[in-house]
A and B are shown apart, each in its own frame.
Chain A
């Protein structure tokens, strides 16, 4: 088995890298793939919280690198899905505790046993970022329709393009708010795609369910009614090579828009 190593990165913090990682990983595992997630955010680990695995971590990636345990011992199995594993970051160390070569080596070893290796990248473009992308051949750039996030994503794309090992990168637009786009108060999906000129792999609507799911340590893809959950699930299937159409988020619009639509339909025949 040769797994695919995909790094999930964004440049800017707080745009939903870790949430994306937890959800895509869970969705891929639910679809029958063997998935391992690596948290490379040393000192600021959070992926364990989102998966509800924080109490099960015994060894971290730094323990593996410093040979205090075997790689397999450090993999924490998910509560629900035996196909899903987490290699946690060390909370008490900083980014210099591992090197690019060491991470590359870990990825190479994991490739033999897993279909997908998802690397959760820390914010920023410093060493932590360089470590995270070291073993990857694909990337997902997470951004939101906000200026600062788009600017940082552009920077990240520039760095990914310069990295020979990264064969392809895709854009994931997170926290999209159709209501604000409708009133021209927020950049639309098309605007962001045009500005960054990158291929889109997913559009995730803003969803308050994300907050509750994080609080419970239960990825939102497990909730089949949640729009964000469905969107993340679609992303996972696109990663697997399926052709899944993007969700039509426009249905979820404001009252004013609905009234307007009603009137437009009423006089539509005139035009």
Chain B
């Protein structure tokens, strides 16, 4: 009996200590998190502005395939076992059906062709304009093609291209 009372007392005292220790966010965690972010930037020269740009381009790309919560999309640099990783978390609302995807891809293919025709010599300079064209034309009605695989490659290339261009543009 008396042993139980003692145990109860001990538990209470222990809880008191625990409460003082588990503050919402302690100084150590704040320091670690701030450091991680600042070191990622130091190491990669990837500014928040560039990350933002990458983010919006990824949204544009992924929107062709899935409907997602754009505001909740997270793009962060992270470190695992000494290896840097770009972590992308995409809250998917629903996957788009084939028809919608084909439509978006076709639209992009067409706009790519058009921009290729018109801006063969001055790719770098026209990059901003190109982006606008793409977003305008995806909203239009365009006929569906069957060459989805080819299109995907095409669209990947396009993404890579515009990424490279962006780097050059900013660098």
Where the two chains meet, the residues of A that have a C-beta atom closer than 8 Å to any C-beta of B are 147, 150-151, 154-155, 158, 181, 183-188, 191, 195, 197, 256, 259-260, 263-264, 266-267, 270
Q: Please report which residues of chain B, range 1-51, place their CB below 8 angstroms from some CB of chain A when the two chains form the complex.
A: 7, 10-11, 13-14, 17, 21, 23, 26-29, 31-32, 34-36, 38-39, 42-43
Minimum CB distance partner of B25 in chain A: A184
Minimum CB distance partner of B17 in chain A: A260
A151 touches B14 (CB 8 A): no
Residues of chain B contacted by A266 (CB below 8 angstroms): 10
Contact A184-B21, Cβ < 8 Å, known A197-B82, A263-B10, A270-B7: yes
Residues of chain A contacted by B14 (CB below 8 angstroms): 260, 263-264, 267
Least CB distance from B43 to A in Å reads: 7
Instruction: Give the number of residues in B that approach A within 8 Å (Cβ atoms).
Output: 24
B42 touches A154 (CB 8 A): yes
B35 touches A185 (CB 8 A): no
Minimum CB distance partner of A256 in chain B: B17
* A263 CA / B16 CA spacing, docked (Å): 12
A147 touches B43 (CB 8 A): no
Identify whether the interface residues of A are mostly helix, strand, loop, or mixed: helix
Residues of chain B contacted by A185 (CB below 8 angstroms): 26-28
B39 touches A151 (CB 8 A): yes
Least CB distance from A193 to B in Å reads: 11
The answer to whether B126 has its CB under 8 Å from any CB of chain A is: no
Question: Which 3 A-B residue pairings sit nearest by Cβ, starting from the closest?
Answer: A184-B26, A197-B82, A184-B28
* A242 CA / B38 CA spacing, docked (Å): 36
Contact A187-B26, Cβ < 8 Å, known A154-B39, A195-B39: no
Residues of chain B contacted by A155 (CB below 8 angstroms): 42
The answer to whether B79 has its CB under 8 Å from any CB of chain A is: yes
Q: Please report which residues of chain B, range 73-119, place their CB below 8 angstroms from some CB of chain A when the two chains form the complex.
A: 79, 81-82
Contact A147-B29, Cβ < 8 Å, known A154-B43, A184-B21, A267-B11: no
Minimum CB distance partner of A183 in chain B: B21
Say which residue of A184, A195, A260, A270 sits within 8 Å of B27 (CB atoms): A184
* A197 CA / B78 CA spacing, docked (Å): 13
Residues of chain A contacted by B34 (CB below 8 angstroms): 147
Contact A195-B28, Cβ < 8 Å, known A154-B43, A183-B21: no
26 sampled A-B residue pairs with Cβ under 8 A: A147-B35, A151-B39, A151-B42, A154-B39, A154-B42, A158-B43, A184-B23, A184-B26, A184-B29, A185-B27, A185-B28, A186-B27, A186-B28, A195-B32, A195-B39, A197-B79, A197-B81, A259-B17, A263-B10, A263-B14, A263-B17, A264-B14, A266-B10, A267-B10, A267-B11, A267-B14
Residues of chain A contacted by B28 (CB below 8 angstroms): 181, 184-188, 191
B35 touches A195 (CB 8 A): yes
Residues of chain A contacted by B29 (CB below 8 angstroms): 184
Minimum CB distance partner of A155 in chain B: B42
* A151 CA / B27 CA spacing, docked (Å): 17
Residues of chain A contacted by B26 (CB below 8 angstroms): 183-185
Residues of chain A contacted by B43 (CB below 8 angstroms): 154, 158
Least CB distance from B152 to A in Å reads: 36
* A227 CA / B79 CA spacing, docked (Å): 34
